[in-house]
Amino acid sequence: MILVTGSAGFIGANFVLDWLAQHDETVVGLDKLTYAGNLESLASLKDDPRHIFVRGDIGDAELVGQLLKQHRPRAVINFAAESHVDRSIHGPEDFIQTNIVGTFHLLESVRAYWSGMTGEGVIQDNFRFLHVSTDEVYGSLAKGDPAFSETRRYEPNSPYSASKAASDHLVRAYHHTYGLPVLTTNCSNNYGPCQFPEKLIPLMIVNALAGKPLPVYGDGQQIRDWLYVKDHCSAIRCVLEKGHLGEVYNIGGWNEKANLDIVHTICALLDELRPRADDKFYREQIAFVADRPGHDRRYAIDARKVERELGWKPAETFETGIRKTVQWYLDNQGWVDNVQSGSYRQWVEKNYAGRG
């Protein structure tokens, strides 16, 4: 049994689906179902007895304590977070609340559960708390700077990355102070199925298909290091099984790309797979807009530690992953419509009223 927080979000849902495709070990998913949490991503598990879903907040100590007591997971994997930089600029409070205060409460609940295993020897020794974090905690690189290694100084620049940095420090402190068996992963930008269409790649696909402008911030030459979400999930499984306690692992696929190149690639794929009715090219929808405040120029992950020490490697190249992603959004227009619609929110409130 494992407990996965943020299990209805983009990476959490992909992780649960992949986990149950490979293991028979039950997953308890805990998710607040904010705007970013979408149970439709987990619809294929609706009648699967290996999947238990609970709506709730990682900061709800009573609920989390009760779940831990009832299900006795051997690991907790913490995906739950507010995750979008632009939202953190316009309203940082939820980021502080969930990413910092929420992680703190979750750590306290997990510490109480783990400490209570005294006398259970192997079970206590084998327990893991895996915290999923981001490369954005390291700040921004200039052209030619070496990629982020695990020893790089933390220099977060957005309220989002600052809140994630704080949570990483708390996780580290719980290991050093209380001996909690933690692992931390810092991953580059993910893309793939079930990503909420506010992040660069799904937003561009969805807007292109809707005939809307494709908003490129500033000059579009900012660089991100892209990893297909299923490769992130395989890295987390690898770190969970083989990672050394208290260690940090940077996860990335050596795929640095400028934003404008990504948008051009998406446009070209759509021209091929779903040509515009008027025979024009999707790239004509590109619109350069005002830059994001404090916009980090470049991220790049040095993934040699996880490759060398744990033997992890990504399966997808950017070319194969982006094609799969565009195709997924073409095949799942209903998912996009639902996640953006008010009726889905009403359904959540009706069926999962109360906690969350």
Which stretches of the chain bind ligand TYD, using CB under 6 A?
84-85, 189, 199-200, 203, 215-217, 222, 224, 259, 292
Contact code string over 24-63 relative to ligand NAD, x by CB under 6 A: -------xxxx-xx-------------------xxx----
* Matching residue, tokens 């000059």: 219
| Residue 335 tokens, joined | 């998912």
Point out the catalytic residue in the list 135, 225, 231, 296: 135
Interface with ligand NAD, residue 88, by CB under 6 A: no
Using CB under 6 A, which of 171, 187, 205, 306 touches ligand NAD? 187
Interface with ligand NAD, residue 2, by CB under 6 A: no
Interface with ligand NAD, residue 77, by CB under 6 A: no
Q: How far apart are CA 110 and CA 130, in angstroms?
A: 11
4 makes contact, choosing from ligand NAD, ligand TYD, none, with CB < 5 to 8 Å by partner type, with none
321 makes contact, choosing from ligand NAD, ligand TYD, none, with CB < 5 to 8 Å by partner type, with none
Comparing CB distances to ligand TYD, the nearer of 84 and 283 is 84
Find the distance separating the first CA and the last CA of the chain, reported in whole Å. 22
Residue 48 CB partners (closer than 8 Å, separation 6+): 20
Contact code string over 147-166 relative to ligand NAD, x by CB under 6 A: -----------------x--
User: Is 125 an active-site residue?
Assistant: no
| Residue 326 tokens, joined | 């565009």
Point out the catalytic residue in the list 31, 82, 136, 231: 136
- Number of chain positions touching ligand NAD (CB under 6 A): 31
Q: How far is the CB of 41 from ligand TYD (least distance, A)?
A: 18
Interface with ligand NAD, residue 139, by CB under 6 A: no
85 makes contact, choosing from ligand NAD, ligand TYD, none, with CB < 5 to 8 Å by partner type, with ligand TYD
Q: Considering only 3-11, 147-155, 200-208, 261-269, which stretch makes contact with ligand NAD by CB under 6 A?
A: 3-11
Q: How far is the CB of 186 from ligand NAD (least distance, A)?
A: 7
Q: How far is the CB of 218 from ligand TYD (least distance, A)?
A: 7
Q: How far apart are CA 89 and CA 86, in angstroms?
A: 5
Contact code string over 194-223 relative to ligand NAD, x by CB under 6 A: --x---------------------------
Contact code string over 222-261 relative to ligand NAD, x by CB under 6 A: ----------------------------------------
Using CB under 6 A, which of 8, 75, 165, 238 touches ligand NAD? 8
User: Is 261 an active-site residue?
Assistant: no
Please write down the HEC assignment for all residues of the chain: CEEEECCCCHHHHHHHHHHHHHCCCCEEEEECCCCCCCHHHHHHHCCCCCEEEEECCCCCHHHHHHHHHHHCCCEEEECCCCCCHHHHHHCCHHHHHHHHHHHHHHHHHHHHHHHCCCCCCHHHHHCEEEEEEEHHHHCCCCCCCCCECCCCCCCCCCHHHHHHHHHHHHHHHHHHHHCCCEEEEEECEEECCCCCCCCHHHHHHHHHHCCCCEEEECCCCCEEEEEEHHHHHHHHHHHHHHCCCCCEEEECCCCEEEHHHHHHHHHHHHHHHCCCCCCCCHHHHEEEECCCCCCCCECCECCHHHHHHHCCCCCCCHHHHHHHHHHHHHHCHHHHHHHHCHHHHHHHHHHCCCCC
Comparing CB distances to ligand NAD, the nearer of 117 and 197 is 197
Comparing CB distances to ligand NAD, the nearer of 17 and 81 is 81
User: Is 138 an active-site residue?
Assistant: no
Strands 256-258 and 223-228: antiparallel
Residue 86 burial (C-beta neighbours within 10 Å; 0-12, 13-18, 19+): middle
Binding-site ranges for ligand NAD (CB under 6 A): 5-6, 8-12, 31-34, 36-37, 57-59, 79-83, 98, 102, 132-134, 164, 187, 189-190, 196
**Which residues are catalytic, by number?**
135-136, 160
